[in-house]
Chain A
Amino acid sequence: MYQYSTEDSKFLVERVDQFEKQLKRHLDGDLDAAKFRSLRLRNGLYMELHAHMLRVAIPYGTLNTTQLRALADVADKYDRGFGHFTTRQNIQYNWIELSEIANLLRELSSVGLHAIQTSGKATRNITADPLSGLTEGEIADARPYCELIRRWFNLHPEFSWLPGKFKIAINGAKFDETALRIHDLGLRLVRNKEGELGFTVYVGGGLGAAAMVAAETASFVPVEDILSYLESAMRIYNLKGRRDHLKKLRIKFLVRELGAEEYSRLVDEDWQQTRDDPDLKLNLTHLSELEKDFALPIKPLALDGFEDKVDFNYSIWKKNNVRAHKVSGHSIVNVSLTKLGEAPGDATSEQMRILADLADQYSYSELRTTKRQTIVFPHVRKDQVFDLWQSLEKYGLASPHQGTLAQIVACPGGDYCDLAKAVSIPIATRVQQRFDDMDKLLDIGNLNINISGCENSCAHHHVADIGLLGMQKNGEEYYQITVAGETLHKTVIGKKLGPSVSGDNVVDAVEDIVNVYLDNREEEEKFTEVFKRIGIKPFKEKVYE
C-alpha cells in the first residue's frame, strides 16, 4: 500500500510548524481574525463559539489500519472519543483545543495524515471511487492519478487563493460512485479510439441553492497533459470567477455566466500555450511507481467446493453489503457504523479500533471510506466473509438495514448545526420507524433517501431517489421533496415534486412515493427507471391528493 516518503512526512511537519507560528501570532494579536480565518481553513480548522472543528483528509478514501488507529487515538486524546466520517471521505473532530492542535497534527503526520486544504478557497481533498481497483470493467484505478493531482495542487503558488472552494473527483470505474458531475471539476478516465488513456473533463457542477450538473469541457485530455489542462481550467476561474458576491463564488456560476462553450474555449486557448511545456507533463515514472504502490495485495484464489454458510440474518446482510471483487475468491464488504436514530458517519474510537483489528485480520490491513459515510473492507476472502460478519454482528456493526432504504443519508441538521433550517436526523428516524418491516425493506431494495437541513445540501438530497430539503415556512419546519435524482449511470438533479410538505406530513409523503414506485415497478426496475417510464404525475397525484 502507498505510503509517504520521508521527504513527504517532513513537508507535513514543516506545514504544522508554519501553522503553529501563525496560530501563535494570532493569539498574540499580531494576525487579525480575518486573515487567520483564511489561513486556518487551509489547515482544516473551523473555530466555532464554544469549540473548534478539525477536518482531516483521507485522500481518495484509502486508509491503512495504522492510520485508522491513529485517528482513534486522536479522538480519545484530543476529542471526546468520536470522529465523524464525511460525505467527501474525510474525518472531522468537533471538540479540539487550539493549544493542542499542533501536537495533534504532528501525531497525524507521523502516519502520513494531514489537514492541508481540507477547507478554504483552494483545491480540496480529491475524492475517488471507494471501490477503485476492485471492480470489473474499470478503465484504471483512479488513485495514482488522485495522488499525483493532489500533490500538484498542494500549496500551489498560483491557485491557493481561488474565488471559492474547488472540489475535484476522479472516477475510473464503469459506474460513477463518485458523483463526478456535482463537483467543481470531475475527471473520468477514458480510452480513445487508439486505446490511449486520458480524461473526459467536466466543470462547474455543484449542489446548493443553484444545483448544476457539470458541463463537459474536454472529451479527451491525454493523461500526460492533465496537469496543464487543470491549471488552465483553474487559471480562467482564478482570473474571471466572481469574487464580488458571496453566493456566486463557485466555478459553476462562472461557467453559467460565460456559457460552457465560452468557458471551454478560454480554457483551451490558455492550454494551447502550456500543454507542450515539459515541466507540466504528468511524470509517467512517478505514475508507474504509484501504480505499483496501489497494486492490489491479493492474487486469484480457487476456492474449490466452497459453500457459504446458510443463515437468515447473514443472507439478508450479505445481499445488501457484499459485492463481487474482480479478483476471484474475494469479496468487497461494506460496513455502516450508523445505528437507527444516530447521525450518519459518527464513529467512536472503540469502533475505529475494532474496524482496524478486523481489517488486519480479514482485509490486508486496508479500509476505504465512502460518500455514503460507510467503511469498506476491500479484499475479504470469500470463505471468510461469514466469519467477518459474525465479528461485525458481535460489535453491533452488521445491521441488516444496511444497504436498504432504512440506511438514510442525513446531515446533522437542526439538532446540531447552526445553519440548518430544519431537523434531519429525527425525520430519518421516523422514516426508519415507518419502514421497520424487514420483508418490505428487502422487497423495496436499494432506494436512496437523503435529507439535508438547509440549502447547503450536505446530504446531497438533489441526487437521491427521494431527496428532502429542510426549510422554514411561517416559523414551521417544511420539507421540499425532490425525486429521481441520480449519479451512478448519469448525473440527474432530482425534480421538485410540488409545494413543500410540513414536518408532520413528510413521512406520509415518503411512504406514498415508495408505494407508487412499488405499484408500478416491473420486474427489477430501479426507482429512476420507473420514474422515467411513468413520469412525475402519479407521484404528484398520490402525495397531494
Chain B
Amino acid sequence: MAKKKQGVDMKDAVWVLAVGSQLGLSIALPVILGLAVGYWIDTRLGTLPWITLLLTLAGAIGGPIIAYRWVISTVRKRFEEGEES
C-alpha cells in the first residue's frame, strides 16, 4: 500500500457539497419562479408580457443577491464555530 492519503473531513466535504448545490439553485430558481408567477398573473389579468418580464427580471436580480447573502451568513456561521472550537 502506498502512503496513507491526507484524510478529508467528511463533514467539511458534505458541507461544501450542500452549500455549493444550494448556491447554484438559489441563483437559478428565482428566475423560474418569477417567470411562472408572472405568467400566471399575466394570463389572469390579460397583461401579457409585462408582469412576466418584470418578475423574471426581478428574479434575475434578486437571485444572486439572495445567494450572496445566504453564502455570507453560512460561511460566517461556519467560521464562528471554527473559532469557538
Partners in one complex: no
Which A residues form the contact surface with B (CB < 8 A)?
A: none
